[in-house]
């Protein structure tokens, strides 16, 4: 009778078999290997790792393959896997000043120590479909620069000498709270906020970051520096008494320099530029930039700025930035709600009857 | 999960379970108070019962018998999915019999049959904060709860009466637990609210996405908010009868039969309905 609305175990299983077949596509085409995905869909892999909060290119590739490129589902797979992993320690802060640079640009200086280095970038490409690629045209061999003999200092370190830029401040003496292991309680510390932004949905961050440029939370940023490259992750091992290198990860870092504060007649700090910070796994400078815009906007209280725009509202931004939470709750509307709907239906019918009775009565009078 | 599986009993690792149990103990100690907990990503989406699933995972023992319902029914897709999850990851016995279950996970309903001592009812909660739609900010609502400042809620209910002559909340109808905290009973129809009052079973509430756990210990007074001159009432399905078992005192689902206004009503609690049908057959 109402089998249609109440599915069974068999229906679920059949649906999953259909899904797997749909993912695989025509069997006469070769299946993609994980190595191909890691190598040729690297940006998708990076996004899955960043929003999945798990740096593992192979697993990210598996997730993308398993979901047929449905990115939020792929991110979800990584998250659900990640949460089952034991947490065995906290690494030392990564030193982005010692990054092995692939790319490094600054919009605030024409030239600077270490130079501007475009690296592999979409910037300045003409967005024209490359029909040769459809026919599997080969690509020319790139020219690669030699490795830097010395690490290239960050722009913020270069400006530090003059005191023109808000300093880094000391690293937190204690371990920062891990937002994946402890519940979020508002208001957040900046460390917690940055963690949430780093795993937040790229599109959501992009839109909100954009809003700060259009007057919803005045921000007036300069891209002080964007750098992308590999950094070493080190772990202190108490038994050994020194740090052990665990491996390298590729990250994108963005430092926005923002309109200055201080220097007023009543201020106790000199005028200086403030900063917004973005750091994301992989090559994702767009997200790193958006994150830096939001970091600055969300520091409104620190700088005594009025919190008026959505991007400045911590509870609004952070509570809604997680695409796994968001997609789950939006999509749960697919689940049956007929009990609640029935309760409403009943009420609306009754109110209607009463309303109609009133109309008749009014007309009669 | 099967032999050699990488996952722990009932999926969650023991540390996570301990963290959830701590939150549960605190929740039981302060009835109706929302305890923050570090909700984990579960292998099912947020909003699909991850809070309830985590609570169930943390309290299940190998000897438990689990029942899962959604909209009162054991055979709705999500109930089937969650029941299969625990059958697989914990290997516990599952049942559709309300009386046989030691743990019942539910979405949107309380079973019609009264629950008894020793049973645990686990609710899946989408939005744990009863004041959320009156005040979206967590920092504000936390203060309002701390000060028992529930005027806003009463104003909302009063405005309903002023506009419609009655309170128009039909589900997720706010309750006050042990004369202290105002609590969201999860989106159960208000028809079920009276069952929460002095219930013999332990009631646990898990909101995964919102990272909150709360509880009502057994035999705790739970009062649906109302006014002296507008007392709380439940839905009455006047004149409607379950087409399958003939019940007139249960929450009924409306089934659309055709496009000409044909309707029939059946119990939303499928197990209760089946039992009544069987009893009728035996009597016949």
Beta A272-281 vs A242-261: how paired, if at all?
antiparallel
pLDDT > 70 fraction of chain A, expressed in percent and rounded: 98
Whether the ipTM is more than 0.90: the answer is: no
Residues 208-227 of B with CB under 8 A from A: 209, 211
Which residue matches tokens 């989106």? B187
Mutate to test the interface with B, among A51, A185, A342 (most CBs of B within 10 A): A342
Span of A23-32, A233-242, A279-288, A309-318 with lowest mean pLDDT: A233-242
Beta B120-124 vs A221-237: how paired, if at all?
unpaired
Mutate to test the interface with A, among B46, B169, B271 (most CBs of A within 10 A): B46
Answer whether A347 touches B (CB < 8 Å): yes
Residues 76-115 of A with CB under 8 A from B: 76, 79-80, 82-84, 86
Give the pLDDT band (50/70/90) at residue A100.
very high
Q: How far is CA A200 from CA A177, B75, B130, B194, in A?
A: 17, 36, 27, 41
pLDDT reported for residue A148? 80
Rounded Cα distance between A327 and A70, Å, is 12
What is the pLDDT averaged over residues B33-52? 94
Is A78 or A271 the better-scoring residue by pLDDT? A78
Which residue matches tokens 């005027």? B151
Instruction: State the average pLDDT for chain A.
Output: 89
Q: Is A290 helix (H, G, I), strand (E, B) or coil?
A: helix
Answer whether A122 touches B (CB < 8 Å): no
Identify the top-confidence range among A266-275, A327-336, B184-193: B184-193
What is the pLDDT averaged over residues A320-327? 96
Is a pLDDT exceeding 90 seen at residue B251? yes
pLDDT reported for residue A164? 80
Answer whether B108 touches A (CB < 8 Å): yes
Q: Please give the backbone phi and psi of residue A347, each rounded to the nearest 5 degrees, phi first.
A: -65, -45
Is A268 or B80 the better-scoring residue by pLDDT? B80
What is the pLDDT averaged over residues A85-94? 88
Is a pLDDT exceeding 70 seen at residue A263? no
Q: Is A268 helix (H, G, I), strand (E, B) or coil?
A: coil
pLDDT reported for residue A238? 86
pLDDT reported for residue A8? 73
pLDDT reported for residue A1? 40
Asked if B41 lies within 8 A of A328 by C-beta distance, the reply is no
Rounded Cα distance between B164 and A350, Å, is 11
The answer for residues whose C-beta is within 8 angstroms of residue B80's C-beta and 6 or more apart is A7, A8, A9, A12, B68, B74
pTM over the 0.95 mark? no
pLDDT reported for residue B5? 61
Answer whether A7 touches B (CB < 8 Å): yes
Question: What digits encode the pLDDT tens for the residues A104-115?
Answer: 999 988 888 888
The nearest alpha carbon in chain A to B140 belongs to A186
Structure tokens at A201: 């949905």
**Closest approach of B104 to chain A, Cα-based (Å):** 18
Give the pLDDT band (50/70/90) at residue A7.
low
Is a pLDDT exceeding 50 seen at residue B1? no
pLDDT > 70 fraction of chain B, expressed in percent and rounded: 98
Answer whether A11 touches B (CB < 8 Å): yes
What is the pLDDT averaged over residues B70-94? 93
Is a pLDDT exceeding 60 seen at residue A3? no
- Strands ordered across the beta sheet of A242-261: A100-105, A221-237, A242-261, A272-281
Is a pLDDT exceeding 70 seen at residue A172? yes
Give the pLDDT band (50/70/90) at residue A209.
very high
8 A C-beta contact, residue B213 and residue B204: yes
Tell me if the bond preceding A187 is cis, omega within 30° of 0.
Answer: yes
The minimal CB distance from B71 to the residues A8, A185, A338 is found for A338
Is A166 or A119 the better-scoring residue by pLDDT? A119
Residues of B in contact with A325 (CB under 8 A): 46, 209
Answer whether B112 touches A (CB < 8 Å): no
Question: In the A/B pair of chains, how many CB contacts fall below 8 A?
Answer: 137
Is a pLDDT exceeding 60 seen at residue B3? no
Residues of B in contact with A340 (CB under 8 A): 108, 170-172, 187, 189
Asked if A180 lies within 8 A of B253 by C-beta distance, the reply is no
Is a pLDDT exceeding 60 seen at residue A235? yes
- Residues of B recognised as catalytic: 32, 242, 245, 267, 273
Asked if A336 lies within 8 A of B251 by C-beta distance, the reply is no
Mutate to test the interface with B, among A63, A335, A345 (most CBs of B within 10 A): A335
Q: Measured on CA atoms in the order B152, B153, B154, B156, is the torsion positive or negative?
A: positive
What is the pLDDT averaged over residues A42-54? 97
Residues of B in contact with A338 (CB under 8 A): 71, 253-254, 268
Answer whether A181 touches B (CB < 8 Å): yes
Answer whether B88 touches A (CB < 8 Å): no
pLDDT reported for residue B2? 44
Q: Is B271 helix (H, G, I), strand (E, B) or coil?
A: helix
What is the pLDDT averaged over residues A277-289? 97
């Amino acid at each position: 009778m109402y089998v249609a609305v109440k599915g069974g175990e068999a229906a679920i299983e059949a649906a999953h078999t259909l899904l797997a077949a749909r993912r695989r596509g025509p069997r006469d085409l070769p299946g993609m290997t994980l190595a191909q995905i890691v190598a040729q869909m690297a940006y998708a892999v990076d996004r899955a790792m960043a929003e999945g909060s798990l740096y593992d290119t192979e697993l990210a590739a598996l997730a993308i393959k398993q979901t047929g490129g449905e990115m939020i589902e792929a991110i979800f797979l990584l998250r659900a896997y990640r949460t089952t992993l034991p947490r065995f320690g906290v690494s030392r802060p990564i030193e982005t000043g010692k990054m092995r640079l692939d790319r490094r640009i600054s919009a605030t200086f024409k030239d600077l120590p270490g130079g501007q280095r475009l690296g592999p970038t979409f910037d300045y490409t003409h967005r024209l479909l490359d029909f040769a690629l459809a026919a599997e045209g080969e690509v020319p061999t790139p020219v690669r620069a030699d490795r830097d003999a010395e690490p290239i200092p960050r722009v913020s370190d270069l400006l530090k000498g003059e005191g023109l830029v808000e300093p880094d401040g000391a690293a937190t003496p204690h371990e920062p709270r891990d937002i994946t292991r402890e519940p979020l309680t508002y208001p957040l510390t900046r460390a917690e906020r940055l963690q949430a932004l780093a795993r937040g949905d790229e599109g959501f961050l992009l839109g909100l970051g954009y809003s700060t440029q259009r007057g919803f939370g005045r921000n007036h940023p300069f891209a002080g520096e964007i750098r992308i490259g590999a950094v070493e992750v080190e772990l202190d091992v108490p038994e050994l008494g020194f740090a052990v290198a665990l491996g390298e990860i590729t990250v994108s870092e963005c430092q926005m320099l923002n309109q200055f504060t201080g220097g007023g007649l009543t201020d106790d700090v000199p005028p200086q530029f403030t900063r917004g910070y973005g750091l994301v796994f992989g090559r994702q400078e767009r997200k790193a930039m958006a994150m830096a815009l939001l970091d600055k906007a969300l520091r409104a209280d620190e700088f005594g700025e009025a919190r008026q725009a959505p991007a400045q509202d911590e509870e609004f931004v952070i509570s809604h930035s997680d695409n796994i939470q968001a997609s789950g709750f939006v999509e749960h509307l697919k689940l049956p709600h007929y009990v609640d709907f029935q309760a409403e239906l009943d009420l609306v019918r009754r109110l209607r009857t009463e309303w109609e009775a009133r109309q008749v009565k009014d007309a009669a009078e | 999960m099967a032999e050699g599986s990488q996952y722990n009993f009932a999926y969650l690792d023991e540390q996570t379970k301990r963290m959830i149990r701590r939150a549960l103990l605190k929740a039981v100690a302060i009835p109706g108070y929302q305890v923050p907990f570090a909700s984990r990503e579960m292998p099912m989406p947020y909003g699909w019962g991850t809070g309830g699933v985590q609570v169930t995972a943390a309290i299940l023992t190998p000897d438990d018998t689990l029942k899962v319902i959604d909209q009162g029914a054991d055979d709705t897709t999500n109930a089937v999915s969650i029941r299969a999850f625990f059958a697989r990851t914990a290997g516990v016995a599952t049942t559709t019999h309300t009386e046989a279950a030691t743990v019942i996970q539910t979405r949107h309903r309380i079973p019609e049959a009264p629950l008894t001592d020793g049973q645990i009812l686990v609710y899946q909660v989408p939005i744990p904060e009863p004041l959320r739609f009156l005040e979206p900010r967590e920092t504000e609502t936390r203060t309002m709860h701390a000060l028992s400042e529930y005027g806003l809620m009463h104003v909302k209910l009063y405005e309903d009466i002023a506009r419609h002559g009655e309170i128009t909340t039909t589900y997720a109808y706010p309750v006050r637990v042990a004369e202290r905290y105002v609590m969201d009973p999860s989106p159960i129809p208000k028809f079920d609210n009276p069952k929460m009052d002095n219930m013999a079973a332990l009631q646990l509430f898990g909101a995964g996405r919102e990272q909150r756990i709360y509880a009502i210990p057994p035999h705790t007074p739970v009062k649906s908010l109302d006014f002296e001159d507008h007392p709380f009432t439940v839905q009455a399905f006047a004149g409607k009868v379950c087409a399958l078992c003939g019940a007139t005192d249960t929450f009924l689902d409306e089934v659309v039969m055709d496009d000409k206004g044909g309707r029939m009503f059946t119990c939303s609690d499928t197990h209760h309905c089946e039992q009544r049908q069987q009893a009728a057959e035996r009597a016949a």
